[in-house]
Every structure is written in C-alpha cells, then in structure tokens.
C-alpha cells in the first residue's frame, strides 16, 4: 500500500510537479492544498487527476488554522509536503501531521520568506537548499537533507532562485524517498 501524501503549495507548483512525476516513489498524492485561488499548482493537480482544495487566509487567523487542520485530517496523510507554501502552519497542525518543507537556503542560515535575497545581500559565496521537518517555528525544524549551490558573480535574485529551484526538484523527491521507510502508514 502506498504512502498517502498531501502537498501544500502557493504558486506555480514546479516542486509539486516533480513529486507528481516521480515514478519511483511509493506514494499516492491524495490532495493538493493552496491558499491562493489562482495558483498554477491547482491546474497541475487537475491535470494529474488529484483532488485539490483552496483554503484562503482568513481573519481571524484561528479560523484558517481550524479549516486547514480539518481538511487535511479528512485525507489521513502519512506525510504532508510543503512546496512553496507561503504560510506558517499552526502548532496543532505540525504536531498532528508529519510535515516537511523545502527552503531555498542552507538552514539555519537565511530562514524566512526572502532567503535568496538575504543570501545575496550577505555576500556569501555559497547558498543552497534544505529539506527539513516543520515545527512551530519558521524554518527551525530538524534538517533532513541539504545541497549547496555556488553563487555566481552575475547572479541576481531571479537567476539564483531559478538555479536553486532546479536542484530543489530532485532534492525534494530524493528526500521523500529517504524518509518514506520511517513513516507510519495511516490505513
């Protein structure tokens, strides 16, 4: 029986697509969740025959927290994979569902939403990408895997981020393969 995976994404879904296309993973992607109504990842889910749900951010925040927890619980995931989901997940969520995230920096350096820009502003020669367990903090969970990416002299934020994304597509798939044997299955 395959592991049940839920993908969280806010944007174009290139990382989600890498997971969808990964033939060697023993997974069933049971749901794609986005907080953005017009996110391209939703079309990728439709094209792949995967259920999708939009849960836009609401005020007060606790209503959104409740909605995302309830929706994910309906699908009984073995693993939740955050692929460019630009929301901080509530502590109740990450304590209940094993969740990993991919971040465009070598954590613990450059946590947060502007990691690529921050690395460039810091003048470092090398940055990278990190797959980590999600905890109640911002990019503070235990590291699973990392890959270094050198910063070139001509890099700007867009060019560097695109090079990082290319590496991330392979790293997220290999990281999922690495941790699948450690997960309990929800039957």
pLDDT in tens, 104-161: 999 999 999 999 999 999 999 999 999 999 999 999 999 999 999 999 999 999 999 9
Please say whether the dihedral angle defined by the alpha carbons of residues 142, 99, 70 and 55, taken in this order, is positive or negative.
positive
Q: Is 95 a catalytic residue?
A: no
Please provide residue 117's backbone torsions phi and psi, each rounded to the nearest 5 degrees.
Answer: -60, -45
Q: Is the pLDDT of residue 187 over 90?
A: no
Q: Which of 3, 95, 103, 114 is catalytic?
A: 103
Is residue 47 within 8 A of residue 117, CB to CB? The reply is no
- What pTM did the predictor assign? 0.96
User: 74-99 burial, b for 16+ CB within 10 Å, e for fewer?
Assistant: ebebbbbbbbbbebbbbeebbeebbb
Is residue 79 within 8 A of residue 98, CB to CB? The reply is yes
Domains and CATH numbers, the chain: 3-182 (3.40.50.170)
**In the block, which residue shows the tokens 């993908």?**
7
- Centre a 10 Å sphere on the Cβ of residue 15 and count the other Cβ atoms it contains: 24
pLDDT in tens, 35-83: 999 999 999 999 999 999 999 998 899 999 999 999 999 999 999 999 9
């Amino acid at each position: 029986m395959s592991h049940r995976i839920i993908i969280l994404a806010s944007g174009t879904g290139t990382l989600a697509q890498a997971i969808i296309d990964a033939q060697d993973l023993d997974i069933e992607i049971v749901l794609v969740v986005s907080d953005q109504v017009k996110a391209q990842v939703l079309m990728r889910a439709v094209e792949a025959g995967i259920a999708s749900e939009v849960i836009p951010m609401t005020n007060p925040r606790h209503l959104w927290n409740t909605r995302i927890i309830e929706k994910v619980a309906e699908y009984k995931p073995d693993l939740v994979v955050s692929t460019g989901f630009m929301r901080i997940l509530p502590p109740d969520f990450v304590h209940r569902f094993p969740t990993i995230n991919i971040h465009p920096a070598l954590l613990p350096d450059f946590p947060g939403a502007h990691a690529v820009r921050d690395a460039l502003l810091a003048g470092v020669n090398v940055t990278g990408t990190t797959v980590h367990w999600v905890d109640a903090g911002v990019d503070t969970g235990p590291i699973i895997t990392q890959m270094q990416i050198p910063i070139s002299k001509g890099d700007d934020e867009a060019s560097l981020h695109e090079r990082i994304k290319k590496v991330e597509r392979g790293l997220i798939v290999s990281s999922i393969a690495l941790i699948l044997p450690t997960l309990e299955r929800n039957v």
